Amino acid sequence: SITSADFDRDGDIDVAVTNLTTQTVTVLLNRGGPRGSIRFTEPPQVLDFGQVYVGVDSTQRLSLFNPTNEVITLEDISTSLPVFTVSDSQATLNPGQTFELAVTFSPADTVVYTDSLIIRSNVAGAAEVLKLGLRGEGIQALISVIPDTLNFGGLLPPQTGRLPIEIFNRGNGALLVSDMRFTDPVFSTPQTRLTVPPHSSQMVDIDFAPTAAIAYLDTLTIFSNDSLNPQASVILLGGPNSFPPRITSPDTVVATEDVFFQYTATATDSDGTQPRFRFRDLPHWLAPSSPDPGNASVEGTPREGDLDTSFVVIADDGIFADTAAVYVRVIPVNDPPQFDPLSGQAVPELTLLTFDLHATDPEDSTLAFRAENLPTGATLQDNGNNTATFSWTPPFGSRGTYDVRFIVTEVFEPQPLSDTLLVRISVLEAQPDLVVASLGISSTNITLNQTRVITGVVRSDLAPAAGPFRLTFLHDGAVAKDTVISNLDVDEELAFTYSPRFDRLGSHQIVFQVDSDNQVAEVNEDNNEAVLLLKVTKGRVVVRPNPFTPNADGFNDEAVFDFGQLVLTQPELKIFDFNGVLLRTLNRAQDLVFRWDGRDSRGHEQKPGIYLYILFDNNKRVGSGYIALAR
C-alpha cells in the first residue's frame, strides 16, 4: 500500500510504500523543500550605531539564518569604509543553521558615517548579494579651561579665597569630568565630577585656605573623557610672594647683518626679588654672553642669509616665572662678491694656457669680470654665469713672470662692490724637439758599385731650434757626411742628402743623426736618429729572351744583354760559337744594353744552337753565359 504524509516535517509531502509480502516499509522523502537565500532573523532596515565617541568601539551583532535545504557559502562579507569592520569575512551555513556576525563601528572623526554591509553568497551555484545599510556618528569631547592660572594673591591665615574657573566643552559629545585633583590640601573644590553638554561650559569654584604665611604653588588636574587631552591643568598660586616677575626688556629688537648684536633681558618682581634669566629657541648665531646660570644677555653676529627670527626669554624668581617672546628683525647689508681661490699658473712658451675664474655674490648679484696687466695676446672672456675664462699662448721668447690682477664687480647694485684676485703666471722657456722626420733611399735594390741617393729630413717640434746643431750621416759607423745648421723654425723641415757608391758586397748600415753632438737642449733626445739597413748584391747580365728566334717575324728577333745591374766604364760583349770561334764583338751599348741579331761580324746568319757570350769592362771579364738561338 502507499501512504503520503510530511514524515520529515519539512513542509513537503513524502511517500511511504508498505510491502505485505516482505513486511517492509520504504519511505521516500521529498527533498524539493523550500528554496531561497539567507536572511536576517530580525531583519533591520539600517544598522544604526548612534553616537559613538572618537577612539571608542561600538559593536552590534546580526543573526543570519539559512532557511534552505542547501549548504550556503558566504564568499565575501565586507564594508567600504574602514570605520566599519566585521568579525568574519567568509562563512559556510548548513541547512537550518544560524550564523552570528559582529559589526563594529570605530569613528575616526566627529562626522556622520554611512556605509553598506555587503554579503555575497553562493546558493546551489547561483550568486546572490545581501545588503544592509550602516550608520554611525562620531562624537568627541574637547575640553578647555579658562583661565589657565588662578592667583589668589597674598592671603594669610585665617583668610580664605574663592575663584572660579570655566570648563568649556568645544566638542559635539558630552564632556564627562570624572575627577579634579589637587596636590596641596589648601586648595579644594566642592564639585569634582560633572557633565558638560556639547558646545557649552560650566563654572566651577576653587577654594584657597592657607595654613601658613608662605607662598603656595599647586596644579589642579582635571580628568575627563577628552581622548586628545584627558588631563587638563590649571596652575594655582596663593600666599605671600605669589606674583611672578614681569619682563620689562623690549620684545622687538633690530640686528644688522655682519654687525655684533647683544640683547640684555630685564625684569621686575613685586617682592623685590632679583629674577634669574634663561633663554630658549635661540637662533644659531646667538648664544648666552656668559655660561653663568641666570645670565641676562645673549650675543652674536648675524651673517649673510640670516633672516628675521625670534627667541624666548624666561624670568624666574624661584617660584614663579614670566615668559616673553622677543622678535629680532635682521637688516641685510650688501656684501662684496668673492673670488674662489686660484693658485699660480705655469706654462711653457708656445703652449696654450687656459683657466676659469669663478666668483660668488652673497646676494646673488650679476657679476662682471675684467683684468689688469693682461699679457700681450692674452684674453679674458666673461661667460655671463659668474665665471670667466682666461686664455693665452705665450710666444717664443716670452719667458718670465707675469702678475695679472683680476677684478669682479657687482653690476646692478647702487654702490657696486668688488673683489680682486692676483694670479702669478710663470712662463717657462720652450724647448724644441729636434726630430728625424724621415730617412729614405732612392732604391733599396743595390748591386755592387752602384750609387744611391739617401735623404734624411729633420724637423723642429714645439719650439724653434735657435742654436747651431749638426746633421750627420754615418756609413757603417764612420762619419760619411755632416753639416752644421744655424737654426730651424718650429715645424720647419730640412732635407739633407748623402750619395754613396756601394763598392762592397754585403750589409751596410746608414745612420742619420740630428744634433749628434747635443748642442741643443731638447724635450726629447730619443728621436734624434734613424737607421737604414741595406744589402749590396753582385750584379749580373740579364739576357732576354733566351732562346731567341731571329727569323724577321717581328717577335724575339734579337737577344738583349742588359748590364744595368753592373757599373761599367768601357763595356764590351763578345759572342762565340760552341767551338770557341769569335763570331761578333759588340761595344756600342745603348741604355746599358747590347743587342745581337744572330749574325756574325760579316752579317752572316748563324745556325740554331748554343752560343757563348762574355762581357768585358776595360778588357776585364765581368760576366758570361750561354744564349740559345732557334729558327
Residues 398-424, mean pLDDT to the nearest whole number? 93
Q: How many CA atoms lie within 13 A of 496 on its CB side?
A: 22
Closest CA relative to residue 255, chosen from 293, 221, 282 = 282
pLDDT at 6 over 90: no
The predicted pLDDT at position 34 comes to 47
The predicted pLDDT at position 124 comes to 66
The pLDDT-based confidence of 25 (bands split at 50, 70, 90) is low
- Cα pseudo-dihedral 35, 37, 43, 45, rounded to 10: -120
The pLDDT-based confidence of 69 (bands split at 50, 70, 90) is confident
Enter the DSSP assignment of 606.
P
Residues 222-242, mean pLDDT to the nearest whole number? 88
Residues 254-274, mean pLDDT to the nearest whole number? 88
- Is the dihedral angle over the CA atoms 267, 273, 274, 279 positive or is it negative? negative
pLDDT at 56 over 80: yes
CA atoms of 627 and 463, how far apart (whole Å): 64
CA atoms of 582 and 600, how far apart (whole Å): 9
- Burial class for 473, CB neighbours closer than 10 Å (0-12, 13-18, 19+): buried
- Burial class for 588, CB neighbours closer than 10 Å (0-12, 13-18, 19+): exposed
CA atoms of 188 and 181, how far apart (whole Å): 8
Residues 286-300, mean pLDDT to the nearest whole number? 88
pLDDT at 31 over 60: no
Lowest mean pLDDT among 42-51, 249-258, 283-292: 42-51
Q: Is the pTM of this model over 0.95?
A: no
pLDDT at 74 over 70: yes
> Per-residue pLDDT tens for 309-320?
999 999 988 777
Q: Supply 186's cell numbers.
A: 589648601
538 vs 77: which has the higher pLDDT = 77
CB atoms within 10 A of CB 265: 21
CA atoms of 317 and 294, how far apart (whole Å): 10
The predicted pLDDT at position 11 comes to 57
Is the bond preceding 283 in cis, omega lying within 30 degrees of 0?
no
Residues 213-234, mean pLDDT to the nearest whole number? 92
Backbone φ, ψ for residue 65 (5° rounding): -120, 140
Residues 579-595, mean pLDDT to the nearest whole number? 92
pLDDT at 36 over 80: no
CA atoms of 141 and 232, how far apart (whole Å): 13
406 vs 12: which has the higher pLDDT = 406
Task: Give the neighbor-by-neighbor strand order of the sheet with 620-629.
Answer: 582-586, 571-576, 609-617, 620-629
The predicted pLDDT at position 233 comes to 95
The pLDDT-based confidence of 28 (bands split at 50, 70, 90) is low
The predicted pLDDT at position 305 comes to 84
The answer to whether 575 touches 611, Cβ cutoff 8 Å, is yes
> Per-residue pLDDT tens for 334-354?
889 999 999 999 998 888 999
CA atoms of 75 and 69, how far apart (whole Å): 18
The predicted pLDDT at position 167 comes to 96
The predicted pLDDT at position 626 comes to 94
The predicted pLDDT at position 7 comes to 60
Residues 6+ apart with CB under 8 A from 285: 300, 301, 302, 303, 306
The answer to whether 463 touches 430, Cβ cutoff 8 Å, is yes
CA atoms of 344 and 426, how far apart (whole Å): 8
Q: Supply 347's cell numbers.
A: 706654462
Distances in whole angstroms, Cα of residue 176 to Cα of each of 58, 87, 143, 615? 18, 31, 10, 144
Residues 6+ apart with CB under 8 A from 303: 257, 258, 285
pLDDT at 241 over 70: no
CA atoms of 321 and 247, how far apart (whole Å): 9
Average pLDDT of the chain is: 90
Give the chain's domains with CATH numbers.
1-33 (no CATH), 39-139 (2.60.40.10), 143-238 (2.60.40.10), 246-331 (2.60.40.10), 338-428 (2.60.40.10), 433-537 (2.60.40.10), 542-629 (2.60.40.4070)
Is the bond preceding 545 in cis, omega lying within 30 degrees of 0?
yes
The predicted pLDDT at position 8 comes to 57
The pLDDT-based confidence of 33 (bands split at 50, 70, 90) is very low
> Per-residue pLDDT tens for 198-207?
999 999 999 9
Closest CA relative to residue 112, chosen from 199, 54, 196 = 54
Show contacts of 604-609: CB within 8 Å, 24+ apart.
605/550, 606/577, 607/631, 609/577, 609/578
Backbone φ, ψ for residue 57 (5° rounding): -100, 140
Closest CA relative to residue 105, chosen from 61, 57, 140 = 57
